[in-house]
Structure 1
Amino acid sequence: MSTPRLPKAARRVVLASFMGSAFEWYDFSLYGTTAALVFNQVFFPGSDAAVGSLLALTTTAVGFVTRPVGGIVFGHFGDRVGRKKLLVLTMLIMGVPTILIGLLPGYATLGPAAPVLLLIMRMLQGIGLGGEYAGAALATIESVPQGRRGFFGAIPQIGNPAGGMLGSVVVLLCNTLTSDEQYAAWVWRVPFLLSGILLVYAMVVRLRLTETGDFDQARRERRVERAPLLALVRHHWRPLLLGLGARSADAVSGNVAGAVVIAYTVTYLQMSNDISLINNILPNVLSIPLMLWMGRFGDVIGRKRLFVWGLVATAVATFPLFGLMDTKALPLMVLGITLFKLCNSTQFAVQSAFLADVFPTEVRYTAVSCVYQISSIIGGLTPPAAAAILIASHGNPWPLAAAIFGVCALSALCAAAMRPQTEAGSPVYHAQGVR
């Protein structure tokens, strides 16, 4: 029997969620890439190269610290008034500061005010993304049949590699077509300004959304919580704590595969910017079809099982990553980062659908936001922490690899202890009439 086609309204939600997610991740990852390449020169001149990179990556961390603020605020209203209304606002809060970063004068013009303004823009980016992730994911997941939520839930997830890849491609073109001096002087601003085009298109698509089926049902049954965060902490504290632990590995490994690898390539392997960017593009290209397939596979074998095995695979791939990077042979470097990225993409594909399975509708936006965004603080601290470890070890990557392995192993244990409510085989799943 063929799978029924989604209604037009649901297809529109899936498209809008993907477009918005890709735009948000383009903006957010663009900052991390550019910070690793030139922000030490533009906003922190006069420092030692390694120390300047550390300071630039620290500004990257600020965006991760403010993400929980956006997650809690938008999670509250998302569970109170619905998913749709929040998605337009989160996009504006993310997109406008990104454009302003492209217009921001550097230290040579504004002095100490320049890095301060940069920090403010990064904080606003974090708040916008903090509300975006759960909203985009749940808008899709709650608009499709339960038995297909792994596959369709992976579509907003691929906004992450798609947006990251687009950012890397644009930065690579800007860097390749100009000299390093020109890129550091002004060309780095071009990708930030181009985000305005994506912002307008994504806004048009999102303004046409309808509310999700799950939230409409909760509203009809009067299950909307007045204080979703309080209800989450009071009644669902155990899955909340386990979720924070389970998501920590992705928060760390996602940044290792991005800003940390770029900084390590440029600062310690002393290779060109182009090589570090090329290393990021291929894994993102391959991860998109892999994540779609993994989402569908998760609907068959269980999203929890696939999530746990993805974390285990990421832990194992940590040591080949740095071993192959240290060869300085481009094909082997690409192989190392590709293996690591694809292993991490396995669990990331089903992450939002797995978390949605764990928490009930009335606190789901708040719960998924808190799990994802609070754990993202660890991810935000990863680039400066990794830079500090590399400085202390004089560029030896193995202490860093051991730390990443430990985080992934702990996350796998936490995920294994979580209990989904709506996966295949659960009473709730069958009560909902899923076939």
Structure 2
Amino acid sequence: MTRARIKRATIASTVGTALEWYDFSLYGTAAALVLPAVFFPTADPVVATLSSLATFAIGFFARPVGGVLIGVLGDRFGRRQMLFVTLLLMAASSVLIGVLPTYAQVGVLAPALLVFLRILQGLGAGGEYAGAMLLSAEHSGKTTRGLNASIPSVGNAMGSLVATGIFFLFEAVLSDEAFLAWGWRVPFLLSIVLSIAAFIIRLKVEDSPEFTREMNLRGVVRMPFRTMFKLSGRRVPLAMLMSIAPNILSYLPSVYALTYLASTVGAPAWIGLVGIIIANLLKLVTVPTAGWLSDKFGARRIMMIGSVAGAILFFPFFFMLDTGTPLVVWAALVMIFTLCCDLTLASQASMMSTLFHVRVRYTAVTFSREITGALVGGTIPFVAAWLTSVGSGSPWLVCVFCAAMCLICAVGTYFLPSTEADDEVHSEESVRQHR
């Protein structure tokens, strides 16, 4: 397997993931800072914010549906073909969000259309990251699988970095009136640029050699869910627990922290946006480093370190946010959103790429990862906002909740089987053949 082949697969996977995270990060930022005023005007700003964050969660609840459907088709027709479908869904929904009429123009139809497009966005995103990660990992060798599987997560940082940067640029140079009138739309319309680039690059990449070889030997799985649970056993529920911390450590700092800084701390919006930009810049280094560490010391160990560290550091994280001091806020975001989060993201990708048999891997990864993403990642901004309100503006309940969730993730990871799924299945088949 040549270096050029691995490089093309990894780049193609990463560019597509950048589009997914550009769209999702852009929506998350807009949901916290713009969409409440444009689509959910109300006399109570807390109600408007909660309504906007609820639409953010809706996209996550659509992700398991899209993920499982695309995963099943991906195990039938290949990873590469499905990644073109996800590109189309993500790009089309984001561009259409950019041209939606406002509540002031069409009333309740505006938020209804926003919800519909958010669902389409979620359907595409549900299968994108898993397919990109698998395409990259399955083009690599075993000794560098963790590194290659983690690199598409760099696309997360790239997409989020570009989205936050463009959003910050328009928010900074335009007046409040101009930004609310049309400026917020431009970043959504620019989604088409990333999608064209990703489409062209992916045209030059072959499908996964690991998947292709298995299909030639054994054919297509006819009953993917039955086969998935038969081959995977307890791996699926434990993988769902293992996916908790990456969601908590991603979406609480990158989405809810912006709302908390603006509404509770009273800090200017630029402080949080610049902090997210800094954190994502560092991810370009920390994500592949965490992938390398997963290859060297074991992905299970790296996941548990990241989860436990996050559980402990959420308490100083909010204390640092409460200062409202730019340098302290930025350090807090880097601590959780970069260092802790990247340890879990990279190790998750490494484990997911070997945890399930290749014949049902796409289905199993999307099923376990996206259901947890919907239940945890999609709801954490809303839950955190509600817990802060219950705590009379104090974040201590948020800290306790997030710490508990990260510890559950560490426990689930500890009990995951250490043997690769393909090796287990091939060993069982070899025993049966020699009886």
Q: Segments of 4+ in structure 1 off by > 6 A?
A: 425-429
Contact (CA 8 Å) 1:253, 1:344: kept in 2 or not?
A: yes
Q: Deviations over 1:175-210 (max 9, x none)?
A: 111122221221000100111111111111112221
Counterparts of 2:81 and 2:63, CA distance in 1: 19
Contact (CA 8 Å) 1:248, 1:407: kept in 2 or not?
A: yes
In structure 2, the partner of 1:373 is 370
What letter matches 2:204 in structure 1? R
* Offset at residue 427 of structure 1 (A): 11
Match of 1:398 among 396, 399, 404: 396
Match of 2:264 among 262, 268, 279: 268
Q: Deviations over 1:223-268 (max 9, x none)?
A: 5311222211344241100111111122222110111000101111
Q: After the TM superposition, which residues 93-242 of structure 1 pair with which residues of structure 2 at under 5 Å, given as runs?
A: 93-222=89-218, 224-242=220-238
In structure 2, the partner of 1:362 is 359
Counterparts of 1:211 and 1:258, CA distance in 2: 33
* Offset at residue 277 of structure 1 (A): 0.6
In structure 2, the partner of 1:66 is 62
Which deviates further from its counterpart, 18-27 or 307-316?
307-316
Q: Which runs of 5+ in 2 are unaligned?
A: 428-435
Aligned-pair Cα RMSD in Å: 1.7
What letter matches 2:21 in structure 1? W
Contact (CA 8 Å) 2:251, 2:377: kept in 1 or not?
A: yes
Query: Aligned pair 1:302/2:298, yes or no?
Result: yes
In structure 2, the partner of 1:352 is 349
Contact (CA 8 Å) 2:356, 2:420: kept in 1 or not?
A: no
Q: Which runs of 5+ in 1 are unaligned?
A: 430-435
Q: Deviations over 1:321-342 (max 9, x none)?
A: 1010011111111111111111
In structure 2, the partner of 1:248 is 244
Tell me the TM-score normalized by structure 2: 0.94
In structure 1, the partner of 2:18 is 22
Q: After the TM superposition, which residues 335-346 of structure 1 pair with which residues of structure 2 at under 5 Å, given as runs?
A: 335-341=331-337, 342-346=339-343
What letter matches 1:411 in structure 2? C
Q: Secondary structure at the match of 1:35?
A: helix
What letter matches 2:286 in structure 1? L
Query: Aligned pair 1:9/2:18, yes or no?
Result: no
In structure 1, the partner of 2:34 is 38
* Offset at residue 309 of structure 1 (A): 1.2
Counterparts of 1:31 and 1:418, CA distance in 2: 34
Counterparts of 2:242 and 2:118, CA distance in 1: 26
What letter matches 1:397 in structure 2? P
* Offset at residue 148 of structure 1 (A): 0.5
Q: How many residues align?
A: 424
Q: Deviations over 1:16-68 (max 9, x none)?
A: 00000011110111001001001110000123111111100000000000000
Tell me the TM-score normalized by structure 1: 0.94
* Offset at residue 353 of structure 1 (A): 1.7
What letter matches 1:115 in structure 2? P
Q: Secondary structure at the match of 2:218?
A: coil
What percent identity do the matched residue pairs reach? Answer: 34
Counterparts of 2:179 and 2:367, CA distance in 1: 37
Contact (CA 8 Å) 2:272, 2:329: kept in 1 or not?
A: no
Counterparts of 1:404 and 1:20, CA distance in 2: 30
| Inter-CA distance 106–427: structure 2 relative to 1 (3 Å threshold) | closer
